Amino acid sequence: MTAPASVTRWWGYAGCAAVAVAVAACSSQPSTDVSAHTTTQRTAGASGFKSLDRLADAPAPRRIVIPAIAVDAPVVPLGVAADGTVQVPTRWGDVGWYDGGPRPGQPGPAVLLGHIDSKSGPAVFYKLRSLRAGDEVQVLRTDGSVVRFAVTRVARYPKARFPTADVYLPTLHPELRLVTCGGAFNFSTGHYVDNVIAYAVLRR
Amino acid sequence: MRKEIRKRVVAVSLSTLSVATVLTACGGSTHESAPSTARSPSPASMPGNSMGGTATVVSLSGPHPAAQLRSALEMTLGDHVLLTVELMRDKLRPGPTGRTQAAVAAVSDNTKTLSDAMHQIYGARTAATFTTLWNAHVQQLSDYAVALAGHDTSGQRAANAQLHHIEGDLGTFLSTATEGRLTPAAARQAVTMHIQMLLAQADAYARGDYASAYEMETQGFDHMTAMADELASDIAAGKGVPTTELSLPSQQLQSALDRLFAEHMGVMVEAMRSAVDQSPDFASVGATLNANTAQLGAAIGALYGHAAADAFLNLWAQHVNALMAYANATATHDDAAKAAAQKSLADFVVKMAQFLGAATHLPAIQLTSALTQHDMHLTDQIDAYATGDFTKAASIAAAGYAHMFTLASTLATAIGDTVAARLPTGGAQTGGGGTAHR
């Protein structure tokens, strides 16, 4: 079968077997910042109804923890560089969050980037390529909350064919993209030729 | 009132399969109804415009046949949930006969749509089997609601027993139709989940737990559209149509917008009717409406950022609030308030067309027409509903529901193009010195 996204949604329901008796305990989607916000929007009557008119504020990411590869690092915001590429962290031990996209826990793909190495040794995402499906990624946020994701796959792409759409285009559910370098190192340019990307979805 | 025969046809022609799947969307059989379109805008301003009896043709002979099949199934199966919920709740609360007849007819039309699709894909014999099973599950769900309303526990048990058998038969049918891509166990589990959600929403509604009833309705809608996605993939694969396009971000965006806009239309209709009926379920349907609005805002936020999402939601709130004001004014026969609501809607259309035009580069006139049409679907259906013309109300609501998929398709394409143009490009330089060189 194909269409893994739809399969994932479908089987998410299949786990909720006792639907008739456990309505409240069986949510169709992972708890997100959206649903948390809207639970406060209940209204008393038609004449007093007020539509939601602003997006829920999600806390910014503060720190990332990936137990499987011993990552426990601060998260800093990143933008777009003058050449159109995404900025990268200025410290080898930091992880950067592309703040032009959603925050971790909001619907959509939150993109986090970290270096694979420095000029003298391994950096924060040195072992990113060894992540396996199911490994947990925790994002600690400025309000003290933690959102947990599960890795679904890890892939490597030539930088010349970076999968921009797969990484940045929105999804309905909260997801993560963890990006670092990989493959061969081009000593003439001083850069790796590939990017390694780990994809993760909100853990149910 | 001028009567006209309205027939909306979603023709899904899978040329690569040598089949033409004809989906008569949301009441596709010949439907005697009379949406009074004296105030209707020109139907030609959006592609595939379906207001007022024009044919909506979704050709799957184009570049994305599997994706178009997915969208068509999302529309029809999602509508099945909304219409069946409406039918079951009609049994749970006393109401005029005309309302019941309209609810029955709407579900019947939806089933006809699905049956026609099965006929075109698999032939008459398979379609006949499907129709028998599908009608049986609708009938038993209706019977269950009748028994529930009458506190007839033995009737509920009887309907449950019948549904249990149908789950197995329908599961086997779907597994066979997908040539085993959907295993019998998986297919049965999916059908069981669908039925259990519909029963659960009715149970909750009957005991006055409207929050749970609407929660289950929403979950049932999401579950069914997910089933549509899976079935589209499996059917297309079985017919040799490539399915890789289904995972393309642009196609996934359209699928997401399909569901969000369709749910908006469905819940908006429910909320407006709840307001007119002064129903005790309004608080819950209002919360459901806001949850859908939040998801739309989140999607805009993911596409364009937080500030744009707030701007969008501010305008969207004007749209929703004006429609609710219109419904309230309809209930109280307050013509001045209705006029004020219509003025607010007209203002919304202009502002939202400007917003979406800037975001997508779609022509403002095209957006203005589409948004106006959407508002008119909603105001016209509540006008008809309030005057007791339930058949007309159902017909207009069906047209509005189908229109959402056209709008979603147009916006998804335009958004995909414009958003893609401003995303970071190329690979990230996240390496320092080559110590990980391999």
What is the model's pLDDT at position A33? 53
CB contacts under 8 A, A 127-156 vs B, are none
Q: What is the 3-state secondary structure (H, E, C) of B243-266?
A: CHHHHCHHHHHHHHHHHHHHHHHH
A139-161 residue pLDDT tens: 999 999 999 999 999 999 999 88
Average per-residue pLDDT in chain A?
Answer: 79
Q: Say if residue A28's pLDDT is above 60.
A: no
What is the model's pLDDT at position B25? 32
For residue B437, what are its two tokens? 């060189």
Read off the pLDDT band of B217 (50, 70, 90).
very high
Q: Which amino acid is at B183?
A: T
CB contacts under 8 A, A 89-108 vs B, are 92, 98, 100-102, 106-108
A53-62, A190-199, B377-386, B429-438: least confidently modelled range: B429-438
Average pLDDT over residues B338-365: 94
Q: Say if residue B261's pLDDT is above 90.
A: yes
Positive or negative: CA dihedral A30, B219, B178, B28: negative
Find chain B residues with C-beta within 8 A of A41's C-beta: 287, 290-291, 294
Find chain A residues with C-beta within 8 A of B416's C-beta: 169
Residues contacting A11, CB < 8 A, separation 6+: none
For residue B384, what are its two tokens? 């008809």
Q: Say if residue A21's pLDDT is above 50.
A: no
B86-90, B288-292, B305-309, B428-432: least confidently modelled range: B428-432
Closest CA to A177 of B296, B259, B302, B415: B302
**Chain-chain contact of B431 with A185 (C-beta, under 8 angstroms):** yes
**Chain-chain contact of B282 with A14 (C-beta, under 8 angstroms):** no
What is the model's pLDDT at position B420? 67
Q: Is A22 exposed, middle or buried (0-12, 13-18, 19+ CB in 10 A)?
A: exposed
Read off the pLDDT band of B438 (50, 70, 90).
low
Average pLDDT over residues B246-258: 81
B242 in contact with A, Cβ within 8 Å:
no
B299 in contact with A, Cβ within 8 Å:
yes
Q: Say if residue B27's pLDDT is above 50.
A: no
pLDDT, greater one: A198 or A12: A198
What is the model's pLDDT at position B219? 94
What is the model's pLDDT at position B305? 79
Alpha carbon of B149 to those of A157, B143, B281: distances in Å? 59, 10, 16
- C-alpha–C-alpha distance, residues A140 and B262, integer Å: 35
pLDDT, greater one: B25 or A68: A68
A50-64, A161-175, A182-196, B338-352: least confidently modelled range: A161-175
Q: Say if residue A133's pLDDT is above 80.
A: yes
A27-41, B30-44, B185-199: least confidently modelled range: B30-44
What is the model's pLDDT at position A97? 96
Helix extents (H) in B333-363: 335-360
B426 in contact with A, Cβ within 8 Å:
yes
Average pLDDT over residues B219-237: 93
ipTM over 0.90: no
**Chain-chain contact of B223 with A113 (C-beta, under 8 angstroms):** no
**pTM over 0.80, yes/no:** no
Q: Say if residue A69's pLDDT is above 50.
A: yes
What is the model's pLDDT at position A98? 92
Contact A200, A152 (CB under 8 A): yes
Smallest CA–CA distance, residue B31 to chain A, in Å, is 32
What is the model's pLDDT at position B351? 96
Average per-residue pLDDT in chain B?
Answer: 84
Q: Say if residue B53's pLDDT is above 60.
A: no
Q: Say if residue B12's pLDDT is above 60.
A: no
B6 in contact with A, Cβ within 8 Å:
no
For testing contact with chain B, the best of A192, A193, A199 (most B CBs within 10 A): A192
Find chain B residues with C-beta within 8 A of A30's C-beta: none
Residues contacting B353, CB < 8 A, separation 6+: B364, B367, B368, B371
